[in-house]
Amino acid sequence: MRRTPLLVGQLFLVGLSLGQVAIGSSQNPTAPSIWRRHDLNRTRPPAITPPGPTVSAPAPSDAIVLFNGRDLSAFTRASGAPAAWKVENGYMEVAARTGSIRTKESFGDMQLHLEWASPNPPNGVGQDRGNSGVIIMGQYEVQVLDSYQRADTYADGQAASLYGQYPPLVNATRPPGEWQSYDILFRRPRFRPDGTVQEPARITVMHNGILVQNNEVLFGPTAPVPPYRYVAHADELPFTLQDHSHPVRFRNIWVRKIQERPEPAPGYIPSPVTLTDAQMMRVLGAYYRAPAATATPAQVAAAQQVPAFVITREGPQFWVTMGNAAPLKAFPTTESQIYVPDRGAFVNFTATAAGGQMEAALDGSTARATRR
Ligand code: MG
């Protein structure tokens, strides 16, 4: 428990969260752990020593640099007023009680790099010691705290925790005053048009180059209190750096926006057509290629035993087996053509000149196969 004086606003939040402990994660069906929220008995991650500096990481060419050590022009207060934190010597420092600051630009899926240092000399205990936070989309907090050689707060609230949900896997915190890095990979939640969750948010965090959050599934916003219920929100929102009244420093903040992989242009994937039973039956069967004139006896035997194509159906669905491969789903695009999406291939059917017999060939190929 805290023993240090708290601001009125903090008391209010703490009062709420303590009051809500009874409905903690053990009763939340989506919680990944049966530990209660902020359980002081929760096993603390082992401390490790990060191998070397991971700070002053240069921004990649496609990154948006939000803070290069000079000014807070990329940030604003919640009110929209200019950010009032101190900027000096290439870093920004929380100016207590001037308010949290948030980015002017909005972000969804992203790779975020930032560096922070807790106050030196350190001051306070538990949550009241070098507390700040990176609050993604204004609601998913990666905690910033002086957790160096300390075990006086709940594990799910120490540095690099996903606040109130996941302690870090290990404690990779550096001493107060030393620069340390967060590399945060964030995948935003996806919501259906009716506002329900299609896909929850996921976060990976590297703390000083060490994996401490491994693609964890958030079970809702981390604040202010359970039950962590997702409320549908925009695809992109600002992230916040928290003013918790402690002079925590930040520098070298850059973001790469992560885009969805592009889908092909409309019409690139052909559209299925509906065929009659008679039209479908017309192309079913096993199709064999004639061996080449130069084929060896073994190749001749193989060509006679293994069909180039076997076309079958299940209701309106075609299946195409090519050689010895597994059957693939296919759909008709015309009466005489089916498309195999997994291969990006068309199979074209033509009646032979003699009539009656069908031939099949891959689009653009002259290697025709005849149905037996
Ligand atoms: Mg915090």
pLDDT computed for residue 304 by the predictor: 86
Tell the burial category of 25 from Cβ atoms under 10 Å away from its Cβ (0-12, 13-18, 19+). buried
- Distance from the alpha carbon of residue 133 to the mean position of ligand 1, in angstroms: 4
DSSP string computed for 19-67: HTGGG-GGG-TT-S--SPTT-TTSPPPPB----S---SPPPPTT-EEEE
Per-residue pLDDT, 13: 37
Q: Give 282 Cα–ligand 1 centroid separation in angstroms.
A: 68
Spatial separation of the C-alpha atoms in residues 141 and 239, rounded to whole Å:
9
pLDDT 10s digits, 98-107 = 999 999 999 9
Q: Could you tell me the pTM of the whole model?
A: 0.77
Rounded to the nearest whole angstrom, what is the distance from the C-alpha of residue 230 to the centroid of ligand 1? 20
Ligand 1 centroid to Cα of residue 142, in Å, is: 8
Class of domain 1-262: mainly beta
Residue 31's pLDDT is what? 66
Better pLDDT: 156 or 224 = 156
Residue whose tokens read 């965090």: 205
Six-digit token string for 110: 């992203």
Q: Is residue 243 pLDDT above 90, yes or no?
A: yes
In the reported structure, the alpha carbon of residue 153 is separated from the centroid of ligand 1 by a whole-number distance in angstroms of 12
Instruction: Give the 3-state secondary structure of residue 13.
Output: helix
Q: How many CA atoms lie within 13 A of 39 on its CB side?
A: 17
Q: Average per-residue pLDDT in the chain?
A: 89
In the reported structure, the alpha carbon of residue 225 is separated from the centroid of ligand 1 by a whole-number distance in angstroms of: 14
Annotated domain spans of the chain: 1-262, 277-371
Q: What is the pLDDT of residues 188-234, one digit of tens each?
A: 999 999 999 999 999 999 999 999 999 999 989 997 666 788 999 99
> Concatenated DSSP letters for 317-366?
EEEEEETTSPPEEEEEEETTEEEETTTTEEEEEEE-TTSS-EEEEETT--
